[in-house]
């Protein structure tokens, strides 16, 4: 697992230190997200333990996160990018995405993937596009 990474802006911090993660705050955030609101606590804890998680904090309070699943070389899957409703619209999502893509262990990853229904504008700013040749891609989804 990569060494913890941290960056600061005003009263906010982004950190990959797993000891800082607030499971209650994360569960609360994701319970209000259309893509994650049916996950069990056990699923959430297991997913976080096998991912590089970028926590976003205001002081000691966790107000956001982004999760990356990667081999740190060829492929990375970005998911669970979320900012608490009270802090949206202040550039924190953009700052969080920049931290993810500037993480020393991820800067040279060749292919990034994500799935979104509503945040295309944010992700396009970081070079994401719709799939080229989607007929080549397959998936298996067990609900």
| pLDDT at residue 53 is higher than 80 | yes
Domain membership flag for residue 72: yes
Domain membership flag for residue 80: yes
Domain membership flag for residue 142: no
Q: State the CATH number of the domain containing residue 36.
A: 3.40.630.30
Number of domains in the chain: 1
**30-42 tens-digit pLDDT:** 999 999 999 999 9
Domain membership flag for residue 46: yes
39 closest CA partner among 86, 79, 69: 79
Residue 125 sits at the vertex; the CA angle it makes with 68 and 32, to the nearest 5 degrees, is 50
**81-138 tens-digit pLDDT:** 999 999 999 999 999 999 999 999 999 999 999 999 989 999 999 999 999 999 999 9
- SS3 (DSSP) at 30: helix
Domain range for 16 is 6-136
- And the tokens for 20? 């800082």
| pLDDT at residue 1 is higher than 70 | no
Domain membership flag for residue 143: no
Domain membership flag for residue 27: yes
Q: Is the pTM of this model over 0.85?
A: yes
- Strand 111-113 with 12-15, pairing: unpaired
């Amino acid at each position: 697992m990569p060494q913890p990474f941290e960056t600061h802006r005003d009263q906010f911090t982004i950190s990959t230190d797993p000891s800082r993660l607030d499971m209650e705050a994360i569960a609360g955030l994701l319970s209000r997200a259309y893509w994650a609101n049916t996950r069990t606590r056990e699923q959430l804890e297991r997913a976080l333990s096998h991912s590089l998680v970028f926590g976003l904090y205001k002081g000691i309070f966790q107000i956001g996160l982004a999760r990356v699943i990667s081999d740190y070389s060829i492929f990375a899957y970005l998911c669970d990018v979320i900012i608490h409703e009270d802090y949206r619209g202040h550039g924190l999502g953009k700052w969080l995405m920049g931290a993810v893509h500037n993480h020393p262990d991820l800067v040279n990853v060749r292919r990034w993937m994500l799935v979104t229904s509503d945040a295309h504008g944010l992700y396009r700013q970081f070079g994401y596009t719709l799939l080229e040749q989607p007929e080549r891609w397959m998936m298996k989804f067990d609900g």
